[in-house]
């Protein structure tokens, strides 16, 4: 899952079209892009539209995942959001500003109740935890390891930069630490790591550079806030033709040999084979 397109959950025409724009995933947003006065309106709209969108997407874009970002646990909205999403068929929730495993446990408890009440298979609602504060970053692994519902950790750069009083676009390396921490925690828990959205819509070179850097740090994908960003992100988080060719050579060499293999002067051992298989798994996910 390379690209996740955020779409405000109060714009019917954009919501219907979002799964068709080439992103691997769509996140309908009830949080930052919805004003306080529109929270009720957006929640009702999403609950009413979600069954149609899920059915359409499963039919014409079955590889596209649909998630919903609910409001933060420090607001009065998150429980109503969660109930509306789950009862209307949503099965992947993004929780903003997670700061510790206690936050996940709180959501998990309500999900257990909603699943039981709605006769939904236990544990079928998955979670992405967004880490957007220094405290959340430091707790990355305990959060990732706190529930079997966790499918991914996401980074929220704007709030993080605000907390540290640093500029977002000044120097890309300043965000290496939180990204590395999230990527490592996610890998340790065998879940995905997603980078923050790039807020400078006109700056496609900046997005390209940040995507490549995030991938090199171990992240699997990145959020988009505009359709024009999707192709750049998909490209930045895809294996190159050279990598795919090399992975094919590794698998072929393994199939042709019973023992330890050397390829182009490099010893091919278990970690290298695992990398080659990961390349194929990634390609398979997207039906390339």
Partner 1 sequence: MEGIAGNKERGDALVTVRRAPVQSIHIESPVSDLFGHLHRSVVEEVLQHEGNETVQVIVEDDQALDCVIRARLLCALARLRQQEEAR
Residue 45 or 95: the one with the smaller Cβ distance to partner 1 is 45
- Hey, is 103 helix, strand or coil? helix
Task: Answer whether 26's CB lies under 8 Å from 56's CB.
Answer: no
Nearer to partner 1, 80 or 106 (CB): 80
- 125: helix, coil or strand? coil
* Rounded least distance, CB 46 to partner 1, Å: 8
Q: Is 20 in the site for partner 1 (CB under 8 A)?
A: no
Q: Find out whether 25 and 223 touch, Cβ atoms under 8 Å.
A: no
CB-nearer residue toward partner 1: 85 or 217: 85
Q: How far is CA 279 from CA 2, 39, 149, 257, 272, in A?
A: 13, 41, 25, 21, 11
Name the residue nearer to partner 1 (CB basis): 37 or 264: 37
Q: Does 54 bind partner 1 (CB under 8 A)?
A: no
Q: Single out the residue of 21, 26, 27, 45 in contact with partner 1 (rule: CB under 8 A).
A: 45
Terminal CA-to-CA distance of the chain, rounded, Å?
Answer: 13
Q: 39-60 and 78-87 helices cross at what angle (nearest 10)?
A: 30
Q: Which stretch binds partner 1 (CB under 8 A): 11-19, 20-28, 254-262, 269-277?
A: 11-19
User: In terms of Cα–Cα distance, which of 153, 31, 13, 126 is closest to 81?
Assistant: 31
Out of 22, 33, 49, 263, the only residue in the binding site for partner 1 (CB under 8 A) is: 49
Closer to partner 1 by CB, 44 or 109: give it: 44
**Residue 56 Cβ, how far from partner 1 at the closest point, in Å?**
11
Q: How far is the CB of 18 from partner 1 (least distance, A)?
A: 12
Find the shortest distance in angstroms from Cβ 85 to partner 1: 14
Q: Give 16 or 120: the residue with its C-beta nearer to partner 1.
A: 16
- Give yes or no for residue 51 binding partner 1 (CB under 8 A): yes
Establish if 44 lies at the interface with partner 1 (CB under 8 A).
Answer: yes
Q: Which one of 10-18, 74-82, 158-166, 260-268 is the stretch in contact with partner 1 (CB under 8 A)? A: 10-18
Minimum distance between the CB of residue 52 and partner 1, rounded to whole angstroms? 6
Task: Please check whether residue 34 is in contact with residue 15, taking contact to mean a CB–CB distance below 8 angstroms.
Answer: no
Specify the pairing of strand 192-195 against strand 266-268: unpaired
Question: CB count, 10 Å around CB of 168?
Answer: 19
Q: How far apart are CA 238 and CA 207, in angstroms?
A: 15
CA-based torsion, 234, 240, 244, 247: positive or negative:
negative
Interatomic CA distance for residues 288 and 280, integer angstroms: 10
Question: How many amino acids of this chain bind partner 1 (CB under 8 A)?
Answer: 13
- CB nearer partner 1, residue 51 or residue 123: 51
Contact residues toward partner 1 (CB under 8 A) are 11-13, 16, 40-41, 44-45, 47-49, 51-52
């Amino acid at each position: 899952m390379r690209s996740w397109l955020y779409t405000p959950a109060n714009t019917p025409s954009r919501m219907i079209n979002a799964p068709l724009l080439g992103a691997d995933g769509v996140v309908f947003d009830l949080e930052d892009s919805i004003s306080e006065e529109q929270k009720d309106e957006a929640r009702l709209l999403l609950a009413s539209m979600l069954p149609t969108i899920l059915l359409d997407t499963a039919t014409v874009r079955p590889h596209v995942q649909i998630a919903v970002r609910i409001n933060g646990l420090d607001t009065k909205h998150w429980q109503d959001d969660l109930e509306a999403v789950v009862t209307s068929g949503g099965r992947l929730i993004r929780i903003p500003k997670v700061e510790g495993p206690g936050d996940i446990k709180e959501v998990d408890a309500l999900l257990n109740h909603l699943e039981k009440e709605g006769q939904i298979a236990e544990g079928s609602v998955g979670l992405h935890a967004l880490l957007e504060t220094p405290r959340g970053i430091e707790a990355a692994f305990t959060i990732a390891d706190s529930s079997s519902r966790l499918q991914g950790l996401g980074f929220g750069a704007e709030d993080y930069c605000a907390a540290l009083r640093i500029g977002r676009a000044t120097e890309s390396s300043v965000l290496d630490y939180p990204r590395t921490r999230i990527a490592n925690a996610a890998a340790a828990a065998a879940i995905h790591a997603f980078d923050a959205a790039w807020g400078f819509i006109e700056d496609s070179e900046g997005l390209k550079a940040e995507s490549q850097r995030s991938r090199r740090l171990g992240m699997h994908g990145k959020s988009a806030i505009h359709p024009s960003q999707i192709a750049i992100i998909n490209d930045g988080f895809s294996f190159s033709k050279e990598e795919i060719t090399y992975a094919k050579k590794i698998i072929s060499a393994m199939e042709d040999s019973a023992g330890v293999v050397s390829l182009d002067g490099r010893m091919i051992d278990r970690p290298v084979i695992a990398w080659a298989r990961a390349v194929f798994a990634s390609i398979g996910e997207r039906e390339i």
